[in-house]
Amino acid sequence: MKLLLVVLLATFSYANQRIVTLSPSINEIVYALGAGKNVVGNTQYCMSPKESQNVTKVGGYFSPSLEKIVALKPTIVIMQGSSLKLSKRLNKLGIQTKVLKIDKLHNIKSSILSIGEIVHKSKEARTIVENINKSLNELKGIVSNKKILMVIGHNTSLVKQIFVVGQNLYLDDIISISGNQNALQSDRKGQPILNQENIIALNPDIVILLAHSMKQKGLTKKDLIDPWKALHINAGKNSQVYIVDKEYSGIPSHRLILFLRDFKEILLESAHK
């Protein structure tokens, strides 16, 4: 009888969770684990899955509203490190928070497992992590020792303001696991900004353009690839410039598996050139 009471209390507690998610990655993971019905608030950038668009918005990624969050009476607010100050303010008001790091690959996998524990979906979380690990292993041995540059944005001119993937991001981890290296070897964090001269000096063998919403901006693959072909770099000379135009390419959630699939296809195509 006592055991039954504990189970019923745990079930009641889970069913009555009121979760606020403060980043697209966290929001997607919660939904992927089957706990989307418990999300009562998220940010204006939480667009996937589609049903999360109808959830109450509490602001932007860097500007969530304390008042809007408190009004939702959450049982827990899940956020990334950029919201640490907000976490402390919510804690003082008696609201539980969980701050996660979603930057490097091991932190992403750890965060998926942590969210699984929070929403009582640990088994499902472990399955997602296992699938990510499997997809990562499939990248090995396709091509090796290539300098890969991942570029973020929709550059139709390469004179300046070229945002690239730095070495403290999960995308850098993916390049390394595949047996290749980030063309940018630097201590500069996040998304360093380069110019045309910097790119030529790096001389990448493969360039991957992360350009989601390309079509919505009225751009074609040719618009984005042609400037790179004109550069005196190996990637341009050998037609090794590729585009990933899906919005999940910049969101480290369970959909990382989709990006790993795209990256694998690029490596396979590169191997045959």
Give the single-character DSSP code of 53: G
Instruction: Output the pLDDT for position 11.
Output: 46
Instruction: Output the pLDDT for position 57.
Output: 97
Residue 125: give the domain boundaries.
Answer: 2-136
Domain final position from 97, 119, 136: 136
Residues 120 and 146 in one domain: no
Contact 91, 83 (CB under 8 A): no
Instruction: Output the pLDDT for position 191.
Output: 85
Number of domains forming the structure of the chain: 2
Residues 9 and 131 in one domain: yes
Contact 267, 178 (CB under 8 A): yes
Domain final position from 110, 136, 162: 136
Model-level pTM? 0.91
Instruction: Output the pLDDT for position 50.
Output: 95
CATH number (domain holding residue 89): 3.40.50.1980
Show the low-confidence residues of the chain (pLDDT under 70).
1-15
